[in-house]
Amino acid sequence: MVKLIVGLKGTGKTKALVEQVKKAVEEESGNVICLEKERNLTYDIPYTVRLIHITDYEFGSPEFFRGFISGLHAANYDISHIFIDGLMKMFKEPDLDKIAQLLDELDAFGEKENIQFTITATLDPDQIGDNIKKYC
């Protein structure tokens, strides 16, 4: 239940994410969450979406990120969709193997809890391995 939108900087990943956020708000009955690093989406997404700026929480590792997602779910079992803009920007030192493991864990968590994840990441689609490409 992970959909990854990858591309180089300036290829329209965030614009595609915003359109999918709007569609999710219209079509889904659960709560929609959006995580971003910079404060760019405040006026682009519907006010009903819970927008979280991760810079308020000192993200640094995929382990912290997994705990944060678990905490969101523990506080609100009605989440149907979590959008994440700029996954690679959320970590101090992004390691593609750890990112692939995180995606696998989010996928399993999403299947178990019926949560869809849509994630953007600034990566060259030709440079990523099959362990990440399977989510594209």
Quick check: helix, strand or coil at residue 56? Answer: helix
Q: Which two tokens stand for residue 97?
A: 């193997």
CA 78 to CA 50: how far, in whole Å? 12
Banded model confidence at residue 90, pLDDT cuts 50, 70, 90: confident
The pLDDT tens digits for 94-123 are 789 999 999 999 999 999 999 999 999 999
**What pTM was estimated for this model as a whole?**
0.94
Banded model confidence at residue 60, pLDDT cuts 50, 70, 90: confident
Identify which has the larger pLDDT, 56 or 50.
50
